[in-house]
Structure formats: C-alpha cells, structure tokens
Structure 1
C-alpha cells in the first residue's frame, strides 16, 4: 500500500510541477515588472527622464540590495517609490473592476434575454414604436425618452434602459418594501406625459410627486379619509354615470366588490343587494335625487319614492323588479336591504359623502375633461373596515372609461397617453371586471399599472379565473423581491425555462488522464433564486421575448432627485402640520411626526437629496 501511495504522489507531483513553475514565474514577472515600470515612471515624472534599467534578474538583485538610487541615479527616492505604489494601485483597481464585471457576467443566469433580443424595448426600438402609436410625434427627429414609452429599468448588468410602449398594460407583483413605490409608482407619475390617475392607501407617492405634477397641470386630491389630510377642494358627482342601467350596475358592483373578497363568488344576498343598489342608483340619477336620499331609501324599504321615480322616467321593468323585492318575504327583503346597506356603509360617514355630493363653492371633477389634459388625480383611501374603497373604485373606473370614450373620438388612442397607477389595487380599487378590461385599455392608449403584493392577493379579489385573465392580458409583467408563494414561483421558474449545463468528468488510467462531457437540463432560474431576487431588481416577462432581469430605477437616484426630495420633505411637513390640526386633543406636532417618519423609513422619501 505504501508503494502504491508513493507512486500516486509522484504522479500528482509530476502533474502539478508545470503549474507550480508557471505560478512562480508569473508572480516574479508581476513583482519585478511593477518595480521596473513603476520606478522608471516615477523617475521620469520627477525629472530624471525615461531611462529604464535592464529588464533582468540583476536589476531586481540590485534593487533589493542597494535600493532604487543605484538603478535610477540623480532622482528622488520618494518619486520612484511613489511611481511604484501608484502603478500597483492602478493595476489593482483596474483588476478589481474587471474581476467584478467578469464575475457578475459569469454569475448571470444563462438563458435569459440579452440586449439584442430586447432591441424593440431599447431606446431606438421604443422610439420607432412611439412614432407609430402617437400621431403627434410623427416627423420629429429627436424625442425625449419619456415621450417614447414607460421606463421599466435597466437591463442587468450593464443596460441599456428598457421601456414599455404606450399600448402595453402592466402587472407588477412585489412584496412590501421591494421597491414598488420608489421604483415603479413614483417614476411613472413623475414621467407621465398625459393625464395621471393614482390610487393608494398611503401618502408616500402623493408626497413625492404632488409638487412636481403641479408643474404639469391641475392636481386633484380625492382624500375622503384623511390619508394625506388634504383639504377638500373638489367634489365628484357619484351619480353622474348612473343614468343608464350599465352605469348604475357598475357603480353598485364597485360597492359590492369592496365587501366581497372574491368577485367571482357571489351568493344570493350579494347578487340581490347589487340588483337593489342598481335600481336605487338609477332612480336617484334619473330622479335628480341625492346620495342622502338614496341612503334614506335603503333605511326604509317601504319607501315607494325610488319605485315612483323609475316609473316616471319610463323604467317600468326596473321599477317592477324593485317593487318585487320590497313586497317579498319580510326576512328575505330585510336580508337583501341589510346587505345593500353594508355595501354602501362608508357613505354614512359625512366626511366621505361630502366628497361625492354637489358643492357650488368648489370645482367639480369631471373625468371626461381630466383625460384630455395633463392633470393628476390622487385617489387615497384606507383599506379594511370603513374604507372608501367602493367610492375610490367608482371614480377610478369612471375616469378610465372616460379615457376610452375620448380615445374613440380621437381615432382609437389617447395622445398623449393616460397613465393609471393602481397601487394597492386589491385593497382600495377593486374594479370587478378589471381583468377583462386590461387588454382593451392598452389598445386605447391607457397605460394601466396594477401593483399587487402577490398573485394570491389578486386571486382573493378577482378569483383564480379573473387573476389568470389579468395575468394573460398583461403584456408586461414585473416580478420583484419577496415572492413567497411556492407554487406560483415554481410556475414562474418553468415559464423562464431550462438550459443545457455541461458537466466534465475526469478519469485516470494507465494510458493517462481523459476528460469527457455530459449535458443536463437545469432551470435558468430555480424557484429559490426567484424568491431571493435582490431588492431593486425584477424579472421582466414581456410578450414575445424571453424573460430578462432588470434593475429598477428609483426616483431618488435620478439627476433631479435633489429638487424632488426637497419638495417631498416640505410636503411631508405640510401633511404633519395638517394632521396635527386635525387631531384635536393630540399632544402636538411631535406625536404626528412619529407617524409620518415611517414614510422616510420606507425609503419613499430619502432624508437627503439623491438618497
């Protein structure tokens, strides 16, 4: 055995000897070459001229024994030493940068889309597409990047920037604190070319973007629950679109969806309540009654006023249906009316209902006018019990449908396009048929971006079928950090696909060493790697191309971040001051500041320019 081990040792030693010789030689060349070139450069810079010593072992020995003065006479030792140090430092820095780039390239998953495949989303490709979609850009040679499409981010690792076209609709799934606000919502609002609609249950995006959007047009803030404590400076006629059965049913559907966790599962009471609300909304709109009148009708099912109003406007079938509900079994009637009352319970709050009833002292928000300009509409509401989600969904839906009508009058598409960022859509903007409208909005120049925390969150609101429809209709999908749904992430891994991995096998024999290769299929992005995507990155799934990894572009890393950050800080202070005035009996501004500081902690508003 000992003889066999000795033989193996000699074999390994003979194989490693050439590599050891090359390693020693390489180290010698690096050390001596740095001394020789750096010293010569240092001597030349200090005035001794370019007089390199011989490139030989004797030179290294002389440098070691006698110092640099023997090799570079009549020059400063400090200059020679500085040249050597500077050369080594420069080479080391370049080597580190090159190594990092190489390692980053090597670590990139093989099988994802690269620059050539994404050319249609790059600067040149997206500009050409914009000229086709926007008549106002035809004939213009130079376009601002924001005129050509919506910024998605930079292709990882080194660009270029990628944009979606103005006929794309987007679905983004990211966990909290993964960059939805800073990397998607805020940049979309700031860069929008036309009218803007934003829904949210927080004031962070509002605080960052409001001042900047005021430079583009009028800012309308619909804040019935005091998310940003904005004073009421507008009103919206909630019954404006209820003169038709379709409009009344859509509004009733928004209120029903706000209390029904799955719009695809409506029991008898929910469906009956929606029918009753449809009739009451229609009666109120046609009969020129108010929302307060409607609430009174709901409180007293025996009140025949809505039935009479429907008959007066030749809506006999609807009147008979409502009368049938009223004349039904008392238990059934009361159950239907109680369910309907629960659906519109938020309108019992006078602070909410004043925003949706006419007020001659304030300007009226008109969706049909809004979509034609560059104004901004902020729709803010709390989620959970007592929220104004039904009202928010109704106004958002009315605005987007007004955009569709305006696009049809323009010949097919809005120009400039409208941007609708539905942040926290599953909580405050439950438009029941949003999945069905997705592709239609895109063809009309209405860029809808729906932000959800997970696929399951959307499924709880729109059902599995509805969420599948939205997923299929979205031409752009961004999947960010923190997706913890194992089944969903596994499906995404399969969608990304597999790639060939070459494995080397080495065998040793009497004839020598032989090497063979075999191939196996591995996932391009395993499920665990998708779940562990770093914050600020996202997996891009675009129609017609392979998936790609992108780096989001947070607003606070852009060139104008300093100015916007200062404006955002001032807005946060204003919100804090308004909150302090609203909270009667509070200990003071400091207590409110503790609440608003969370906006800074989330990174939505960096505490200094550039963040």
Structure 2
C-alpha cells in the first residue's frame, strides 16, 4: 500500500511542474492578447499608441472597470473590437497550424509523400510533358490534361498526381470498386488524342459519348447490341491478313477467345490456329470474304483456299493446309471442328455484318483513326457467343496502327493515344499484350488494362504472361476488394516495413523510469490492403515508394452536372432502342444481311 501510494505521489509530483507551466502559459497568452488587442483598437480609433502597464493589475482593472479606465481617450467599442480581432486571428492561425499537424500525423507512415512523388505532381509532370511532346515546347501555360494522365489525389489531402504519357498502367480492382467511374470515364474524357475503349457494359459509353463527339468523330462497334447502337460503320477484318504475321495474329485472337489459358495450348488449339492462319491468308490474298472462309471451314474438302494460296505464290502455306486436309479423317475433322468453334461468333449474321463491306456505310480505318482525336468504342458481351475475338482483333489492329504512326512521327505519337482496355480478360484477350506493353508506352500509346484480380489475368495469359504484364506496367493501381490472400501478402511485402517505437513505464519507490524498444511492422498489413475503402487505391509507380491515393470519380468533378445530363439522355436513348429491338421480335431481319450472308452462315456440311 505504501509503495503504491509513494508511486502515485511520485507520478503526480512529476506532472505538477507541467501543470504549472500550462496554467501560466494560458494566462500569459490570454492577458497578452487582451493587452495587445486593446492597445491596437485604441490606436486604430485615433487615440494613438498608448499602452497600459503589462501587469496582472491591468487585467483586473479591465475586467472590473472596463476599457475606459485603461484607455481613457479611446472608444470602448474600438478597444473591444481590437481584442476580438487579435483573438480571432490567433484562433485562425492556430486552426491552420493544427490542420497542418493533423495532415502530417494522419499521413500513413512509410508511404511516399510529396517529396518522393515530386515527378508526378503538377510541376514535375508538366516538365516531363514538355520533354515528351514537342508540340508543347515554348508554351508557358499548359492545361493539366495536356501534361499527363490523372491518377487521383495523394491521400489524405493532395496534391493531385498524374502519370506521364509514356507510362503504361495496370489496375486491379474488384467489381464496383471504382474502375469505371474513377479510371475509365475520367481517362476517356481527358484524353488528348485518339481513344480506344473496350467494355462489356454501356456505362462508360453513356457518360462519355457526348463529350467525345465534341473532340472528334465517334465510332461505335457494337455487334452484340450492348448499347443497341444502329450499325454505322464496318471494319475490314481481313485488311491486315495479307501477311503471315497479320493472319496469325488474327487467328490468335479468335483462339484466345475460347482458350482459358494461353500458356496451355493443346494440340487441337495449336493446329486450329495454324489452319485459321492459312484460311485468313488465303481469303485476304484471294480477295474472298469472311463468308467464303466460313464455307471453307464447313467443308474441309474444299480446295479453294489451297488453290488461292498457290496462285499468290504462298506455296509452303498451301502445302501445309493441304497436309492438314489430307491427314487422317479423325484428326482433320478434330482440327476443323476446333477452328469452327474459335470463329463461331461469325456465324451470327448480326456480328458478321460489322466486318463485311457495306458501300452504304463508312469504313473504319485504324491508320487514320490514330492520327486524330476520334473515339472508338468496342463493346461486346463476355461468355459464350461473345464477339471477343473480333473485338480483340480490332483493338490489336488499332494499337499496331498507332505504333506505325508513331514510327513515322519520329518515335512517339503527339498528341498521345489513349487505350482503355476495360474487362480485358473477358472481351479483349490480346495474347501477346504482356510483350507489347512496354513498347506501346515508348510510342506514346497510353494503355490502361483493367482487371478484377491478378488471378483473372493469370487465367488468360498464364502465370508467366501475367508476371510479364505486371513487370512491364510502369504504373499500377490496386483498389478495393482484392481477396487473393497470397497476392495481397506479396503486395504487403513490396510496400515494406517501418520501425515502430514502443515505450514502457516502470514505477517504483525511487520514482518512474521510461524505456523504449523498436520493432519492424508492415507499413500496410495484408488485411488493410484488402480493406482499402472504395475510391482509394495503392499506387505502385516505377522508381518511387508506394503511395495511397484517392481516385477522382467523374461525378465529383466540376462538370458533373453536364455529364450526368448527357448520361441520362444517352441511357434513355439506349432504353428506347432496346425497346424497339424487342418489339421487332427475335426473328426480325438483320440490317444489311443479304441473301449470300444468310445462306453462308447457315451452312452445316459434314
């Protein structure tokens, strides 16, 4: 009992000096403010600088007898006003200082701050933009969107951060975590050059279409009626198939749309890709159509593609295709059936019409698109029957057209091209995207790939491919809802550890003593990464420490009312078009689908 009492008295006696200092300091501040405020008020009201003695008696007089006795020639109202102004100023300065302190205290320890991210802040990114874009040199004032791609605001209170026009981005977020509202829509709206967007929904299209029409022409490729847009264009799917490389790439996109893992191609998948390559090459070189190609697939005994390849001097390809046709019947039929499954979406007349020449409609030309400020929306459903192979083919052709245009410009597109591959694992499976990623960034093509998880990407490109995509991305955003425990644990290790000081107090009869120890704790444990709030993301950029940012959804920007009105109008138009489609019935004739199309897609030869 005595020991406890002694310890308690020791602890209380230790705090007593600090209590005296606190009370004395408060009294000094209050008295000083009243003395200074009253003197200033008197001077400002015309009685001159006449300060009373700075003593406690002076303050007692002020409280009991009022300001008239201390400043007899001054207006009492002026004296009181001066005191209020001094204390008001002190409170404002104190609040500002407290706010700065709270900002410093609330900033997550161990993450990057303003100094580390200087190259991504407005001043740093503007200097980088002048180096990358010759058209900006000599201009003193630049619009923020001309300098880089908006990522968000550094948590908790800014500044805004942007990536450069040579960065390529990979974003992993769960559904409804802000991919569309905080990344896809702002990136499309703020794009400086040509735009390419892939999606399986019409939300981004509805918000951005009206604004993009102000920048340039809008091309909507909607073969499966995601936005129920009337067909207003056509694309020559065989345009780049005059070379073996182009034909193989197109065949690879169709194969990827049905193959869940590109790293595990079995015999039938590989053989089907080789066969499709030969058929695409024969159709392009022989000036045949996609419908002719479907007929060749339906009848493996048809020698037309072999003859076409021979006629144009592609003897080796002709012999290879002939060898497949003359092989064992079971093997040949298995290869052709696999190839038919890969291009099954072209059996739908509503899809094939978009890639069939139509003299009544304008043709989309990727090599012209990448040089302007036009927008290309590629919309497709995912799952069975999707047009993912066609979408991937058109997206890949457009990206490669951007590379060619950049090479002709001296190495980089100016203004840069923006490609937002939303739902890339579902509707835009470009098989060699991981290999193209870093190269696209060096050409001024800003690619943003949006995935729901790391594992989703691994299913499409394989573990090695997804690792390559992760490594090639110079900017990575990890948002809310990442539930892969192994992946989140790896991210926690990448973020790193920090020293945490732990204090302990021991009390005895002789007094109180303190000691401190240090331990390493994760800056962001796995559970905190998984529980990131919606609208926030962990930023991993090349060459800097990780940072926590707040996304900037389009509906929180200054022009949100205008965009909302445009989105409502577009959504109403989509609903009306959908109602007309359903009213027409499931057997309504397909627009521009002639007799030859209907006959070709109904072929079912053994």
TM-score after normalising by structure 1: 0.86
Instruction: For 1:254-403, list aligned pairs within 5 A.
Output: 254-403=253-402
1:410 equivalenced with 2:409 (yes/no): yes
Aligned twin of 2:149: 150
Cα deviation for residue 295 of structure 1 reads: 1.1
Whole-angstrom distance in 2 between the partners of 1:78 and 1:197: 68
Cα deviation for residue 45 of structure 1 reads: 12
Cα deviation for residue 39 of structure 1 reads: 11
Provide Cα deviations, 1:487-537, integer angstroms capped at 9, x if missing partner.
111111111112222222333345533333322222222222222222222
Cα deviation for residue 550 of structure 1 reads: 1.9
Aligned twin of 2:215: 216
Contact 1:229–1:579 (Cα < 8 Å) also in 2: yes
Whole-angstrom distance in 2 between the partners of 1:443 and 1:487: 32
Which region of structure 1 is more displaced relative to structure 2, 535-544 or 458-467?
A: 535-544
Whole-angstrom distance in 1 between the partners of 2:468 and 2:530: 23
Which region of structure 1 is more displaced relative to structure 2, 50-59 or 146-155?
A: 50-59
Provide Cα deviations, 1:87-141, integer angstroms capped at 9, x if missing partner.
9999878766754553342132222222222222222322222222222223333
Whole-angstrom distance in 2 between the partners of 1:17 and 1:26: 14
CA RMSD, 1 decimal: 3.4
Cα deviation for residue 33 of structure 1 reads: 9.0
Provide Cα deviations, 1:385-406, integer angstroms capped at 9, x if missing partner.
1111110000000000011111
Whole-angstrom distance in 1 between the partners of 2:63 and 2:530: 56
Provide Cα deviations, 1:60-113, integer angstroms capped at 9, x if missing partner.
99999999999999x999999999999999987876675455334213222222
Contact 2:7–2:511 (Cα < 8 Å) also in 1: no
Whole-angstrom distance in 2 between the partners of 1:386 and 1:72: 91
Contact 1:105–1:157 (Cα < 8 Å) also in 2: no
Aligned twin of 1:574: 573
Closer, same or farther in 2 for the Cα pair 1:139/1:96, shift >3 Å?
Answer: closer
Whole-angstrom distance in 2 between the partners of 1:258 and 1:345: 10
Whole-angstrom distance in 1 between the partners of 2:501 and 2:201: 50
Whole-angstrom distance in 2 between the partners of 1:68 and 1:532: 59
User: What SS is found at the alignment partner of 2:477?
Assistant: strand
Provide Cα deviations, 1:308-367, integer angstroms capped at 9, x if missing partner.
211121212212221222222222222211111111111111111100010000000000
Aligned twin of 1:591: none
Cα deviation for residue 159 of structure 1 reads: 2.8
Whole-angstrom distance in 1 between the partners of 2:547 and 2:308: 58
1:132 equivalenced with 2:128 (yes/no): no
Contact 2:285–2:308 (Cα < 8 Å) also in 1: yes
Closer, same or farther in 2 for the Cα pair 1:17/1:213, shift >3 Å?
Answer: same
Which runs of 5 or more residues in structure 2 are unaligned? 586-606
Whole-angstrom distance in 1 between the partners of 2:140 and 2:5: 77
Aligned twin of 2:492: 493
1:239 equivalenced with 2:221 (yes/no): no
Whole-angstrom distance in 1 between the partners of 2:49 and 2:519: 57
Provide Cα deviations, 1:185-244, integer angstroms capped at 9, x if missing partner.
111111111111111111111111111111111111101111111111100000111111
Which region of structure 1 is more displaced relative to structure 2, 79-88 or 411-420?
A: 79-88
Contact 1:207–1:568 (Cα < 8 Å) also in 2: yes
Aligned twin of 1:603: none
Which region of structure 1 is more displaced relative to structure 2, 192-201 or 17-26?
A: 17-26
Which runs of 5 or more residues in structure 1 are unaligned? 587-611
Cα deviation for residue 40 of structure 1 reads: 11
Aligned twin of 1:171: 170
User: What SS is found at the alignment partner of 1:103?
Assistant: helix
Closer, same or farther in 2 for the Cα pair 1:87/1:575, shift >3 Å?
Answer: farther
